[in-house]
Amino acid sequence: MNIVKQSPSVLVFDSGIGGLSVYNEIYNKIPNAHYIYVFDNEMFPYGDKSSNFLINRVNSIIEAVTKFYPIDLAVIACNTASTICLPNLRSKFSFPIIGVVPAIKPASLLTKNKCIGLLATKATVERTYITDLIHQFAAHCTVKLLGLSELALIAENKLQGVTVDMKQLKELMQPWLRLRTIPDTIVLGCTHYPFIKTELQMIFPQSNLIDSGHAIAIRVCNLLNDKYKLDRIIPSTSKNIVLSTVYTQSVEKLIKKLSDYNLHKYHTIDISLA
Ligand code: DGL
């Protein structure tokens, strides 16, 4: 029997545009779902915020969104938030919540010189979650951590049309360029970084740069397929939505760009309603 259901509503969340790299992978796999992309530009960047602040903030935002939109699944498309907020979110909301985890495990299988680099925000590289992940999957490798606050902003600016300053980027990568053994596998442990992958690849031409976007999309697809049988759903006719926590000039510029991502309707979300 052909049971046809409405397409599920998928919330994708990040501090900024980084989550679009994950959203894009999910959208390409499941174009029929309805998407709500939410970004907390008021508090960007998350990489320099405390754990407690992020737990409360992300909780309030997701709660505010659920006041207006029914959500079937949420993706925390931000490594900085995922490495700290998931247990709390999962205890509060009944829909499945998927987080992004830096691709340490795949990197440990790919590396030939047994030297892996993890490029992420300052907050992410300091988390015990990361230490545990390395212990669990890459104990046989040397893992070099580089926590930077500037890279996410460089990626934000690039999406708004600003050319990446290669001299500045190379300067930021100096700690690794000075190493005797350069990581042959570099994990992009922040969802913003796939947007500057080309530039990073120019600096590390011999290294393999990997991220978790595709793996997350597969996970979302499997989870939704179990419940909705994705080949039988009624495709969403509602416009995909973008929500941000504050309206600024950059948002105004960004909105035009977002139609390239099939995100067509913008609102500001008032998190005091959470
Ligand atoms: N996109 C984010 C991440 O994956 C956060 C960047 C930031 O806000 O500092 O970690």
48 CA closest ligand 1 atom index: 9
Residue to substitute in 41, 48, 76, 80 for testing ligand 1 pocket (most ligand atoms within 8 angstroms of CB): 80
H or E segment and range at residue 108: helix 104-110
Would the CB of 78 count as within 6 Å of ligand 1?
A: yes
Predicted pLDDT of residue 206: 97
Ligand 1 center to 132 CA (angstroms): 20
Higher pLDDT pick, 224 / 6? 224
pTM of the model: 0.95
2 pLDDT more than 80: no
Residue to substitute in 24, 61, 124, 192 for testing ligand 1 pocket (most ligand atoms within 8 angstroms of CB): 192
H or E segment and range at residue 156: helix 150-159
Predicted pLDDT of residue 6: 81
What are the structural domains, with CATH classification, of the chain? 9-100+213-273 (3.40.50.1860), 104-210 (3.40.50.1860)
Which pLDDT band holds residue 1 (cuts at 50, 70, 90)? very low
44 CA closest ligand 1 atom index: 8
Mean pLDDT of 126-134: 96
Predicted pLDDT of residue 274: 65
Would the CB of 190 count as within 6 Å of ligand 1?
A: yes
Which pLDDT band holds residue 98 (cuts at 50, 70, 90)? very high
Mean pLDDT of 258-263: 92
- Out of 25-29, 108-112, 203-207, 227-231, pick the least confident: 227-231
Would the CB of 192 count as within 6 Å of ligand 1?
A: yes
Would the CB of 83 count as within 6 Å of ligand 1?
A: no
Mean pLDDT of 222-243: 87
Residue to substitute in 153, 190, 211 for testing ligand 1 pocket (most ligand atoms within 8 angstroms of CB): 190
For 211-249, the three-class secondary structure string (H helix, E strand, C coil) is CCHHHHHHHHHHHHHHHHCHHHCECCCCCCEEEECCCCH
Predicted pLDDT of residue 270: 87
Across the chain, mean pLDDT equals 94
Ligand 1 center to 228 CA (angstroms): 31
62/274 Cα distance (integer angstroms) = 8
- Out of 230-239, 245-254, 263-272, pick the least confident: 230-239
Mean pLDDT of 24-43: 96
Segment 41-65, tens digit of pLDDT: 999 999 999 999 999 999 999 999 9
Could you give the residue numbers annotated as active site?
78, 190
Would the CB of 14 count as within 6 Å of ligand 1?
A: yes
Mean pLDDT of 19-30: 96
Segment 136-158, tens digit of pLDDT: 999 999 999 999 989 999 999 99
Would the CB of 152 count as within 6 Å of ligand 1?
A: yes
Would the CB of 45 count as within 6 Å of ligand 1?
A: yes
The CA-based diameter of the chain, rounded to the nearest angstrom, is: 63
Ligand 1 center to 191 CA (angstroms): 6
Structure tokens at 200: 């990073």
